[in-house]
Amino acid sequence: MPIQLKKGRGALSNPTGRFEALVKEDFDDGWENDDQFREKIPTQLFVDTAKTVITYNQSPDVPFDRSINPYRGCEHGCAYCFARPSHAYLGLSPGLDFETKLFYKPDAPELLSAELSAKNYRSAPVALGINTDAYQPVERQLKLTRRLLEVLHEARHPVSIVTKSSLIERDLDLLASMAKDNLVQICLSITTLNPDLARRLEPRAAAPKRRLQTLAALAEVGIPVSVLVAPLIPILNDHELENILQLSRDTGAVDAGYVLLRLPHELKDLFAEWLQTHEPLKANHILNRVYDSRGGKAYDSTFGSRMRGTGVYADLLAQRFQLAMKKLAFPGTPVFNTRLFRPQPLHGQFDLFD
């Protein structure tokens, strides 16, 4: 079937997840090209009945051992999102399902309070919204991230947040208060400074200019903000690396990082489809460069190299990044303070012998 662009959506199709026994295929019944019958895809919300909210990991190449994800799926619809394949675990497609069928944990704040109050819990920085953005558009309605932050703020628990949304400005009161005690670090993801490219790559995320304004607003009230240039996509946005770092430093960022495009599982075909539609003249060049940087594969999950890649191109990116960081003299983020943690008793009742 001819591919139809879906307004406000990043994926172009809805392929069957890798765990399904049956594979669905689209076919052209003659109605698809008629605007009157063209499918409209609304966002649907479903309850996630998780029994815990903190997820632990032992990954040696990430700076945290625990994370909280109030949402599954992400309405930002980023065409390159490495989390898309996780929707297959729900029996859904990593394509359009990922950005239109969202799951949320309504009791996440209460679960978090219970886990922080456990006698064997020890405070360490928790990453909020790592798999999918904790400040995606549906957060305006549900306010789950706000409530989670309130729990962490009350418990004086350190937290880091990665987002590409200006909605985080809503919570400046909590974040600024926590920043005074080195309890929070924010990382803004900036993929490109080109608004047209951003609109196609990240259809429901904040525009590049707006993200820089958010960076300035956070920095102005003393919140340490770093910038993640991610993902760097060969030929498409890799030439912007130095400019993004320069603008971010000028705007108030204290640190920066980057990630090379990752294409695990179904994302390999989904992103290739996006390239053939939006950047057909560059598609093969981009994919060949990605494969060259992943040992001839679309993705290599090896710890230590999965974020940066290997080979000549990956080494060149690393050198460019290091030179830019040295030139711009980012001061670095302050060390988290884990000594202020004060778990709140459940139901307001303290232990008899405390």
What predicted TM-score, i.e. pTM, was given to this entire model? 0.89
Structural domain includes residue 13: no
* End-to-end Cα separation, the chain, in angstroms: 67
| pLDDT at position 197 | 97
- 349 is a domain residue: no
How far is it, in rounded angstroms, from Cα 77 to Cα 95? 9
DSSP strand pairing (54-56 vs 44-47): unpaired
Q: What's the maximum distance between 2 C-alpha atoms anywhere in the chain?
A: 74
CATH label of the domain that carries residue 133: 3.20.20.70
Q: What is the pLDDT of residue 5?
A: 72
Q: With respect to residue 205, please indicate whether it lies within any of the assigned structural domains.
A: yes
In a domain, 8, yes or no: no
Is residue 350 a part of any domain in this protein?
A: no
Asked whether 125 and 157 are in contact (CB, 8 A), the reply is: no
3-class SS string, 50-106? CCCCEEECCCCCCCCCEEECCEECCCCCCCCCCCHHHHHHHCCCCCHHHHHEEEECC
Q: What is the pLDDT of residue 24?
A: 60
According to the model, what pLDDT value does residue 27 have?
A: 46
- Is 11 part of a structural domain of the chain? no
Q: What is the pLDDT of residue 109?
A: 96
Average pLDDT for runs of 10 along the chain of length 354: 71 77 53 50 92 92 92 95 93 94 95 94 94 95 97 97 97 98 97 96 95 97 97 97 98 97 95 96 96 93 90 97 98 95 69 47
Q: How far is CA 313 from CA 175, 229, 234, 256, in A?
A: 38, 17, 9, 20
Write down the H helix ranges in the chain: 96-100, 108-116, 139-142, 144-155, 172-179, 195-201, 208-220, 241-251, 267-278, 283-292, 312-328
- Token digits of residue 91: 């029996």
Instruction: Report if residue 144 sits inside a domain.
Output: yes
Closest by alpha carbon to 1, among 22, 17, 18, 24? Answer: 24
Is residue 30 a part of any domain in this protein?
Answer: no
User: Measured at the alpha carbon of residue 314, what is the angle toward residues 86 and 289, in degrees to the nearest 5?
Assistant: 75
Give me the pLDDT at residue 99, please.
95
Report the number of distinct structural domains present in the chain.
1
Domain that holds residue 206: 44-332
